[in-house]
Amino acid sequence: MSLPLIKRERIFAAVLIIPCILFITVFAFYPIGYSFYLSLHRIILSLPEIGQPFVGLENYRALLHDKVAMHSLINTFLFVFISTFFELLFGLVIALVINRQFKGRGFVRAAVLIPWAIPTVVSSQMWRFIFNDKYGLFNFILFGTDVSSYKAWLAEPVFAFLAIIITDVWKTSCFAALLILAGLQTIPDELYEAARIDGASAWQQFRKITLPLLKPALLVALLFRTMDAFRVFDLVFVMTQGGPADSTNVLQFYGYKKIFTEGLMGYGSTISVLVFLISFAVAMLYIRFIGTKLFKETA
Amino acid sequence: MNRLAFYIVTTLVIFFSLLPFLWFVDTSLKTEIEVTAIPPVLLPSGTLHFYRSSIENYNLLHYVKNSIIVAGSVTVITISISIFTGYAVARLRLKYKGLIMGALLMVSMFPQISIAGPVWRILQSLGWLNSYQGLILPYVTLTLPLGVWIMASFFKELPSELEDSAKIDGCSHTQTLFKIMVPLAAPGVFTAAILVFIYAWNEFFFALLIMTQQEFQTLPVGIALFQGQYTLPWGEIAAASTVATIPLVLLVLLFQRRIVRGLSAGAIKG
């Protein structure tokens, strides 16, 4: 009780954050380290009698020679690039168009949020059904009643990959649009008025005012979408199971299969570590671009 | 010209946003024969056959129950912890704030696979695989970044006069937090709760690993694993999907403004 006020405040604050620190330490940071530890051992869940022999970097050497893993790595990158690109592009267009006062704006916003709110498993099943070879809406829209032309879209490697991207873009473009919209609304109208008085065209206004001022919002949307795309799993699990012929296999799905289907806890953990390192590097890169604003904002 | 473009794009966006889901709702109201008709039948006869079947043959209500238990508990726990942490970070003197928020940001970006194996092993050694707490604990961890971020940004906007006068009137720190600050930040609590609930309701990856027994599985796992004897039970999948999605659609319709606000909290305040 005799402690000075400032000191008491510090103690109170420290006590308040304990539960949060405990959770993220035990269930997030410790597991990261533990994944690295596991990746240096040979652990096969179905063979507990071999124990956990330390094998050094052997699992990593095997990973480099694992063609499916490298293929999944490339697929993951392709998926991240293509889907994020289209999500931001559509997001920007949608945001620019609906950035105005109009009747029923709340309804539009709600309609746009629905794909985002739908569980990914559900949207995956929905699109899987739309691309179904016999009963699918996609075949019906393309070929009408000409049943003989119906295709099994998800059985074609290139299209299966596209289908996953389409589903992801469908689900999250609008989310990107909302983030970008929030950024658009911070741009003061006076800037546009001044530009109009100076005789700037709509395109010039977009290039010289909208884009530069929108950069922070765009980068944040890009960061969020990229990190989320790296985690792609539900779509692949439900729609294609990584097939056909590994054409839609991505790292998170491959790692899941190695660890939990095949029980290769040691080898699978190298994939966990790889995915972590890649996404960490990408996040750092973005955060350097965005600057430390994100941290300062709350610090 | 501009107006025309606006109407065209808006209509297209609404159309494409809603079409796939409406098609699934449509499918869930068909009869067995209509679902497997080639080419597809557009208008259903409006029977609830598949809803009954997914309850009777696929234990739909069981999944619903598990999802409510898990998502509900996660929301309560995450929000409580987020209130504490968000308040400490936003309004109190505390060292290493940047580090804490950075760590949380990092957690929000972890690909789940990078912690999946160890989390599974920890739960296994505790005997908590196939138990509610086994799924609730990782979910709380993964939703904390969102919760703390939102709460911190709401707490920060409150005027400090109230806090100061509470202190002058002799309120302890705990009293100030619970009697003054939390009620004022109620909109933030509510926003964070909606988002955390949606996350926990929708999560699939950890639910798949941790809940291997049907008894404990949540809706997403159930829907992903529905299997018929010979073919996929599309009608039942569509019915269960509709059931899983309706609460979310309601949340979105009622609270879209809050949700948007919460999603951009902290992220877009350049």
What are B54-97's pLDDT values in tens digits? Answer: 999 999 999 999 999 999 999 999 999 999 999 999 988 888 88
* Chain B interface mutation, best of A41, A43, A80, A135, highest count of B Cβ atoms under 10 Å: A135
Contact between chains at B101 and A299 (C-beta distance less than 8 A): yes
Q: Please tell me the distance from the alpha carbon of residue A107 to that of residue A103, in angstroms, as a whole number.
A: 9
Is B204 within 8 Å of chain A by CB? yes
pLDDT at A134: 87
Count the Cβ atoms, other than its own, within 10 Å of residue B49. 17
Mean pLDDT of chain B: 90
Give A 57-96 residues with CB within 8 A of chain B.
93-94
Residue of chain A with shortest Cα separation from B7: A97
Band (A297; pLDDT cuts 50, 70, 90) = very low
- Please, what is the angle between helix B97-109 and helix B60-91, to 10°? 160
pLDDT at A189: 86
Q: Which tokens sit at B146?
A: 């969102």
Which CATH architecture best describes the domain A67-298?
A: Orthogonal Bundle (1.10)
pLDDT at B43: 87
- Kindly report, residue by residue over A166-183, the tens digit of the pLDDT: 999 999 998 888 888 888
CATH number, span B59-264: 1.10.3720.10
Band (B3; pLDDT cuts 50, 70, 90) = confident
pLDDT at B268: 40
Band (A111; pLDDT cuts 50, 70, 90) = confident
Is B217 within 8 Å of chain A by CB? no
**pLDDT at residue B137 tops 60:** yes
In this prediction, what percent of chain A has a pLDDT beyond 70?
A: 96
Q: Please tell me the distance from the alpha carbon of residue B155 to that of residue B185, in angstroms, as a whole number.
A: 6
- Kindly report, residue by residue over B153-183, the tens digit of the pLDDT: 889 888 888 888 888 888 888 888 888 888 9
Q: Which residues of B touch A297 (CB under 8 A)?
A: 266, 269
Contact between chains at A135 and B37 (C-beta distance less than 8 A): yes
Band (B44; pLDDT cuts 50, 70, 90) = confident
> Where are chain B's structural domains?
1-51, 59-264
pLDDT at B81: 97
Alpha-carbon Rg for chain B in angstroms:
23
| A255 neighbors A275 (Cβ within 8 angstroms) | yes
Give A 222-281 residues with CB within 8 A of chain B.
224, 227, 230-231, 233-234, 237-238, 251-252, 255-256, 259-260, 265, 268-269, 271-273, 275-276, 279-280
Cα angle A109-A93-B197, degrees, rounded to a multiple of 5: 35
Give the long-range contacts of residues A291-297, CB within 8 A, separation 24 or more. A293/A216, A293/B270, A294/A220, A294/B105, A294/B266, A294/B267, A295/B98, A295/B101, A295/B102, A295/B105, A296/B98, A297/B266, A297/B269
* Chain B interface mutation, best of A122, A253, A295, highest count of B Cβ atoms under 10 Å: A122
**pLDDT at residue B220 tops 60:** yes
| A286 neighbors A108 (Cβ within 8 angstroms) | no
Preceding amide of B39 cis, omega within 30:
yes
Contact between chains at A113 and B256 (C-beta distance less than 8 A): yes
- Kindly report, residue by residue over A151-160, the tens digit of the pLDDT: 899 999 999 9
Contact between chains at A140 and B109 (C-beta distance less than 8 A): no
**pLDDT at residue B197 tops 70:** yes
Give A 14-53 residues with CB within 8 A of chain B.
14, 16-17, 19-21, 23-24, 26-32, 34-35, 38
**pLDDT at residue B45 tops 80:** yes
Residue of chain B with shortest Cα separation from A273: B114
Mean pLDDT of chain A: 89
**pLDDT at residue A295 tops 60:** no
Provide the shortest C-alpha distance from residue A114 to chain B (in Å). 6
> Where are chain A's structural domains?
67-298
Contact between chains at A260 and B209 (C-beta distance less than 8 A): yes
Which among B21, B37, B81 has CB closest to A23? B81
**pLDDT at residue B229 tops 80:** no
Q: Which residues of B touch A16 (CB under 8 A)?
A: 84-85, 87-88, 92
Band (B1; pLDDT cuts 50, 70, 90) = low
The least confident of B136-140, B227-231, B234-238 is B227-231
For residue B141, give every residue at least 6 positions away whose Cβ sits within 8 Å of its Cβ, in sequence order, or none: A23, A24, A26, A27, A28, B107
Indicate the residue type of A226. T
**pLDDT at residue A299 tops 60:** no
Give B 112-171 residues with CB within 8 A of chain A.
112-122, 137-138, 140-142, 144, 148-149, 152-153, 156
Q: Which residue has the higher pLDDT, A178 or B199?
A: B199
For residue B13, give every residue at least 6 positions away whose Cβ sits within 8 Å of its Cβ, in sequence order, or none: A94, A97, A98, A108, A111, A112, A174
Q: Which residues of A touch B149 (CB under 8 A)?
A: 298
Is A174 within 8 Å of chain B by CB? yes
pLDDT at B237: 95
Provide the shortest C-alpha distance from residue B57 to chain A (in Å). 19
Which among A17, A32, A273 has CB closest to B84? A17
Contact between chains at B220 and A119 (C-beta distance less than 8 A): yes
**pLDDT at residue B267 tops 60:** no
pLDDT at B178: 87
Q: Which of A91-100, B41-50, B106-115, B199-208 has the highest mean pLDDT?
A: B199-208
* Chain A interface mutation, best of B114, B163, B176, B208, highest count of A Cβ atoms under 10 Å: B114
What ipTM is given for this predicted complex? 0.91
Provide the shortest C-alpha distance from residue A243 to chain B (in Å). 16
Q: Which residue has the higher pLDDT, B270 or A283?
A: A283
